[in-house]
Every structure is written in structure tokens, then in C-alpha cells.
Structure 1
Amino acid sequence: MLLLLLASGVPIGVGLMLVGIGGLAVMIAPEAAVIKAGVVSFEVISKYELGVLPLFLLMAHLCFAAGASRDFFDVAAKFLGHRRGGLALASIGGCAGFGAISGSSLATVSTISSVALPEMRRAGYHPGFAAGALAAGGTLGSLIPPSGALIVFGIIAEQSIGKLFAAAIVPGATQALSYMATIALLCLWRPELGPATVRVPWRDRLPALRQVADIFALMLFVIGGLMIGWFTPTEAASVGVVGALLLLAVRGGFTRAAVAGALRATLRTAGMIYVVIIGALLFANFISASEITEALSGAVSDLHASPVVAIIAMTLILLLLGSFLDGVALMLLTTPIFLPIAEQLGYSPIWFGIFLVRTMEIGFVHPPLGLNIYVIQGLARDLSLGTIFRGVIPFLVADFLHLAAIIAVPALALWLPGLVAG
């Protein structure tokens, strides 16, 4: 029923809510289902910890207004543009830097692509290669802290958002490096894919760093303070908003229109996410009452399969569902089912959050849905979807190898949270 609702165009939050309430009404009683819906809605809206989400969103939109998107790409292009595939490498660097502000894959790919794609095409880059690099690089916004997906997962799974952010740093960095290695190998094999541009002298490179020094310092202070315990997540987000307001003022963009636009965009996005979270928690209550997770856990135990085999089976299911479900929908649909099974297999909930978001990211570039692909195609109408999907294939290979590394070596996600906690 949920899949039918989503396929018919019902918003994910509303679909989860209807199925959750309907399922509880059938299994328990209609009156109990309505009461549960009211209790869950009130708890979500009044939850202090959830204030971190709109605050980080506001910080991101204030940084957008300060011109952060072009700055990150410009700086990376000045340092890397003279190499083969240098502008594509700069796009990955720009996506990583901007992802640390936006916390959103779609925001990252749309913003960086609007700046980088015209530059790469003017420089003679192969259109499919340029679009594929940007589509893949945009997924970094979902993993690099402060990630909106990790915040939502932490709330639903009742896990420390600070630990999730710490756990995402090494996988996020290695993901960006894997994309850069892919670009370097492709340009070594076929140099015409990404011709080198004019080398920028060092006297122009070093001053360019000042363009992003203030934003980088703000992100380091906010995320670093959260990881080492100076702030709670909500306090860190509040400090980030104040810092972003100061940054906007210093950069000369502090106007009524800029602040009002940031507030409007934040309220629109946060309102949608609140509905999604309420729906997801009602759906999770229904899943819990139905004992589906216990039945699936028992089925996994009866197979006597190793934990790695069970996780690989989950990966295949997630990739299949990700072919036609939005990433957040995929996470909210599967977390109540798969997280208890992963815990029974001995996996840390923190590791599972990183694994789930990383798998979800692949869905952003995986056919046939591939939302990042459609965003780029919307920016460059003359590029066919086939051209962009073919261009992203090498990066999909890098994604699968990177995901395999996270499954094979859980310490990639768990080392830093353990170090911080220690």
C-alpha cells in the first residue's frame, strides 16, 4: 500500500502517516491509532533535540546568500584546473566543501553544477564526463557533516547526532578521494575527456584561499566543537547560525531580502521534513506492532548466514528499492525494518547509519530514478539523459567499491567516534 501511494504521487510523509495510522487501526483499534498519531505529532514538534534540523538548514541558507557556492569551486579550480581533468577534480572539491554547508545532495549538485558545468564545457570537457562527475560529486552533500540525512536517521534511530557526524568524516573524505582517483584514471586513459586549462600562478592561488577561509573556519568550529563536546548538537547549530549571520554581514550581503529569503527557504524545507519524520515514526510504530522485524530477524537467524552475507543481501534490497524510491523515502521505509536486524547481527547502529546513507547516495545516481541526473539535465537541456547516465557509470563503479570497503572495514566509520569518545 505504501509503495502504491508513493507511485501515485502522494508525498512520502503523508504516505507513511496514512499507512502507519491505518495499520495501527487494523492491528489495535482505530481510537488507539488516532491517539498515537496525536502523541507522536506532539512529541516530534516539541522535541528540543529536533531543533538542530531547522537551525542547520538556516545556517546553510545564510551561507548560500553569502556566495559560498561559487567560492568553493573557484578556489579548487585555481589549484587544480591546470591538470588533466582539473576542473572535474575542482568540482569534487567544491561539492565536498559545499556539502559541508548544505547537508543535502540535491542542493549540492544543483548549486555546484550551475557554476561548474558551463566552465567545463567551455574548456572542452566531454559533456557526459563533466555531468557524471558533478552528479557523483553532488552525493557528498548527503554524507559530509552536517548531513540532513544523518540528522533524520539519528532522530528516528535515537542515536547520537554528534557520533554520526564524527563517523561520517572518514567515509566522506575517502568517497571524495575515490571520485578524484576515478577522474585521474579516466583522464590518464583518455586525455581528451578533460583537457588541462591555463595554470594559475601561486600569487593568485594563495589569496584565493581567503575567499573560503571564513566559511571553512565556521564549519571547523561548529563541527569540531560538537565532536569534542563543547556544544550539544542544538547548541552547535545555534552557534552556526550566529556565525553565518556575522559572515553574511562581513561579506556585505546582510540585507532584509537575503535574510527573509533564507528564513523562507528554511521554513519550507523544515516543515516538509517535520511531516516526514512524524509519518516515519508512525510507520515505525506500525512495523513494531506488526512484529515484522522479529519475523525477518528470525528468518535471517535460521539461514545461519554470516553477518557480512546478511548485510550484502540488505545492500541489494536497498539498491533495488533505490532504483525507484527517493533517498529519504528509502531510509525512512527501511530503517525500522533493517536496523534491528543489523543490531542483532552485531553491527553498531552508528555504522549502520553511515552504511544506509552511503547506500542511499548511490540511488541519487542509479538508474532509472537518479535524481541528481535529472537535476543536471534540467540545467543542461541539450544533454540527453543517456549521455549523463553513461558518464556516471565509472563513478558508480567507484561507489560500489567504496561501499564494499565500508562493509568490509567497519572501522572506517567507527574509528573516529571511538577516538572522540575516548
Structure 2
Amino acid sequence: MLLLGVRIGVALGLVGIGGLALVIGTEPALIKAGVVVIEVLTKYELGTLPLFLLMAQLFFAADASRDLFDAAAKFLGHRRGGLAYAAVAGCAGFGTINGSSLATAATVGSVALPEMRKRGYSDALATGSVAAGGTLGQMIPPSGALIVFGIIAEQSIGTLFTAAIIPGITQTLLYMAVIWLVIRFRPDLGPTSERASWGERLRSIARIWDMIILITLVIGGITIGWVSPSEAAAIGATGALIIATIRRRLNLAMLRDAFETTLQTSGLILLVIIGALIFSVFVSVTGLTDALGDAVRSMHLGSFATLVLITLFLLLLGSVLDGLALMLLTTPILLPIVVDAGMTPIWFGIFITRAMEIGFVHPPLGMNLYVIQGVAKDVSINKIFKGVLPFLASDFVHLLILILLPATVLWLPDLVSQ
């Protein structure tokens, strides 16, 4: 159905209802599907999603991406490859207020790419750094993907956000390490720019201090436990509304567009969640997860080999499936196997989000790559693929770190819960 172009939520829901009808009968299948719909629509935690989406839309209208990149460029631009570092830092900053890989790549790319190309940066390095940096939008909280996973897997969204902080930081540092290595061997790919004065640097910080304070309150409040994710989302949306007002960007047209986009995206994600949960019930009723778990245990692979096998499976599917489709299709099947291998659902939530991100820059689908080509229309897709390859290699290293050192995910939530 996905290959025929059917929307992911509809495809999952129809297959789930059809499968349940075959296994338990038509009437029980329809009743169960109705129960799932009511349970989803009455989940208090689901209010987190539209509020964070509204916050992102308001920040977008306030030109946050330009201000964040400009601040990073003022501090790093005078170094070799400095604007590429700034692009990754800008993506990380915008990821804290956006939560979407595609939107992060598009908005930061529209600001960063013209600057880098104007200053003589290689097209491959410029496009590769922004395409890879865009994936930070899904990992750094608040993340729409983590909210969806938390609802599907019935895990704490606040704990998932806390668990994502260190992987988000290490992912950012790995991308910067890639830029450092590339520039070390090919200094001509990222020439230096003029050094900004401390006055210019401080003025660039002054333009984003309000966003920094709000994001610190939102993410810090969730991490420390002062507020729930839903309360933090309400604070974030209200704060973004105030910031847009102070910056004189708020008007009826902008507000209408922000609400319209938020409602459209929220409705789409709601449909996807409902379809995924119906599909999950069907998978559970068939006993597929138990059968697969028994099959994996019978191979006596051990925890590490099992997780590597799951990684290869996710990367294979991620090269041809949309990221959200990958998460929704595989979570009901793989989560019990991962738990049986000794990992927690929280760890798997971060891990599958990370694998999903790689799909955004992994040929042949690689949606971020095509988004970047839409921004830099005269750069060939082959050159963008070439530019993202070193960053793709660091993504595989990061997945290996998450497998070998699960404490990178679990340490901070454990520390906060004490």
C-alpha cells in the first residue's frame, strides 16, 4: 500500500483492521479499532505535540534560524570550515525549537548555504554539513519523533527527552569532528572568513538570548521534573508568542498561518498514530512478536549480535522508507526483541530515532538531500550525496556507540530520577 502511494496512517490502519477481521472477526475488529481511536484522542500527553509544533511555527516566523546561524557564524566563521561548524550548530539550535529534520535542513540551509558558497566553500562540504545537521531536528528535544514513539510504546515523553540530550550533543560533536577532519586534509574546501569583533558577537547573542532562556526553561524544566512535557509545551508556545510579539513579527496573517500549519501537521500525525496503534494490536494478536523473539533466541546470537542485526535491518528499511513509516512499522515488532536482548524501551526509542535520522541522508531516498537540492538548485544531487558521505560514516559510528555504551542514553534519566 505504501508503494502505491497510500498515506502511512491509512495504510497501517487498513492493514490492521483487515488483519484483525481475519483473525478475530469483523465486529470485534471494528470495536477494537474504535477503542484505539478514543484512547488516542483522549490522551493528555498528546497535547504536547500541537503545542510544540505551534512554538516552532512562531519561532520560524520570528526568523529564528537566521539569528541562530548568525550567532554561531560570528563566533566560528573566522576558522577554517567555521561556517560549516556554524551550520551544524545552527541546526542543533533550531532543532531545540523545531523537532523536524526536513524543516531544520530547509530553514537553516536557506540561510547557511548562500553564505558558505559566497565565501568559497566547497559545494559538497556546504550541502553535506547542512543535510546532516538537519537530522539533529529529530534527536534534540523537543522532538516530534520521540513524542510519537512515547505514545506508541507507552513510555514517558519526559524521560525520552532527557535521554536524548547526551546523544544529541554527541551527534553534534561527531559532525563537527567530521568537518575538522575534512578541513585538515583539504583546507581549501572551507576557507576562513573575516573575524567578527566582540561587539558583533555580543549583538548576535543579544538577538537570541530570549530564545535561549525559553528553551532552557522548557527542556530544563522537563529534565529536572519541575513541569510535565505538556506543561512545558504550553510554556514554550506561550513564550514563543510573547517573543514574536516583542520582535514585532506578530500579526493576524502570521498567526493564522501558524495555527493552520500546526493543525494540519497535528491532524496528519494523529492519523498516523491511530493507524500505527491499530496495526500494533493486529501484530500483537497474531503472535508475530513472540514467534520472532523465539526465532532470534534460537540463533543464540547474544545481545550485541542481535542489536547489530536489528541495526542492519533498520538501515536497510530506512533506505527505502520514510523515517516515520520506519518507526511505526517496526516498533511493535522489534521492541519486544530489543527488551529481550537486555535493553530498555527508552534506549530503543533513542536508537530507532537515530536510525530513522540516518534514513533522511541515506541514498536512495534521503529526503534531506533533496530538500537541500531544492535550496541550492544548481548543485547536482550526486555532489550532495558525495558531501554527506563522511557524515553518514559518523552516523554509523554513533549507532555503534549507542550499542556499546547504552549509558550515553540511560545515564542522565537515571541521574535525574534519583
Query: Which letter maps to 1:47?
Result: K
SS in 2 for 1:142: helix
* Partner of residue 126 from structure 2, selected from 126, 130, 136: 130
2:319 corresponds to 1:332: no
CA distance in 1 between partners of 2:315 and 2:373 (Å): 22
User: What amino acid maps onto 1:164 in structure 2?
Assistant: L
Q: How far apart are residue 378 of structure 1 and its match?
A: 1.3
Alignment of 1:7-406 (within 5 A): 7-406=3-402
TM-score under structure 2 length normalisation: 0.99
Return the letter of the residue paired with 2:207.
Q
The CA deviation at 1:76 is 0.4
The amino acid that maps onto 1:7 is L
**Paired residue type of 2:316:** L
Question: How much does 1:208 deviate?
Answer: 1.3
Write the distance in 1 (CA, Å) between the matches of 2:355 and 2:268: 23
Is the 2:160–2:349 contact (alpha carbons within 8 Å) kept by the matching residues of 1? yes
> Could you say what secondary structure the match of 2:2 adopts?
helix
The 8 Å contact of residues 162 and 413 in structure 2, kept in 1 or not, is answered as yes
Aligned partners of 1:177 and 1:49: how far apart in 2?
31
For residues 212 and 262 of structure 1, the distance between their equivalents in structure 2, rounded to whole angstroms, comes to 21
Instruction: Tell me if the contact between 2:162 and 2:222 (Cα under 8 Å) persists in the aligned partners.
Output: no
For 1:13 and 1:293, how far apart are their aligned partners in 2? 21
1:62-95 Cα shifts (integer Å, max 9, x gaps):
1111111100000001111111111100000000
SS at match of 2:208: helix
| SS of aligned partner of 1:156 | helix
Q: Distance in 2 between matches of 1:38 and 1:290?
A: 19
In structure 2, C-alpha distance between the alignment counterparts of 1:117 and 1:312, rounded to whole Å: 36
**Distance in structure 2 (CA, Å) of the matches to 1:174 and 1:346:** 23
Percent identity of paired positions between Structure 1 and Structure 2: 60
d(CA) in 2 for partners of 1:198, 1:328: 41
Which residue pairs with 1:410 in the alignment? Answer: 406
> Which segment is superposed worse, 74-83 or 197-206?
197-206
- 1: distance between equivalents of 2:202 and 2:45? 40
User: How far apart in 1 are the matches of 2:86 and 2:186?
Assistant: 19
* One-letter code aligned to 1:108: T
What secondary structure does 1:391 align onto?
helix
Number of residue pairs aligned between Structure 1 and Structure 2: 418
List 4+ stretches of structure 1 deviating above 2 A. Answer: none
Name the aligned partner's letter for residue 379 of structure 2.
L
Secondary structure at the counterpart of residue 240 of structure 1: helix
Amino acid at match of 1:200: A
CA distance in 2: counterparts of 1:117 and 1:251, whole angstroms: 25
**Contact 2:12–2:279 under 8 Å retained in 1:** yes
For 2:257, give the aligned amino acid.
G
* Partner Cα distance (1:210, 1:265) in 2: 29
Tell me the SS of whatever aligns to 2:207: helix
SS at match of 1:400: helix
Q: Structure 1, residues 157-185: CA drift from partner, whole Å, max 9, x if none?
A: 00011110010000000100000010011
User: Which letter maps to 1:349?
Assistant: P
Cα distance in 2 between the residues matched to 1:421 and 1:371: 37
- The two structures have a TM-score, normalised by structure 1, of 0.98
Deviation at 1:128, TM superposition (A): 1.3
Tell me by how many angstroms 1:98 deviates.
0.0
Shift of 1:207: 2.1
CA drift of 1:227 comes to 1.4
Q: Over the residues paired in the alignment, what is the CA RMSD in angstroms? A: 0.8
The CA distance in 1 between the partners of 2:149 and 2:191, in whole Å, is: 41
C-alpha displacement at 1:129, in angstroms?
Answer: 1.3
Assess if the C-alpha contact under 8 Å between 2:92 and 2:133 holds in 1.
yes
Q: Give the Å deviation of 1:263.
A: 0.5
Q: Distance in 2 between matches of 1:312 and 1:117?
A: 36
Q: What CA deviation, in whole Å up to 9, does each residue of 1:331-362 have, x standing for no partner?
A: 00000000011111111111111111011111
Per-residue CA deviations over 1:214-241 (Å, capped at 9, x if unaligned) read: 0011011011111111111111111111
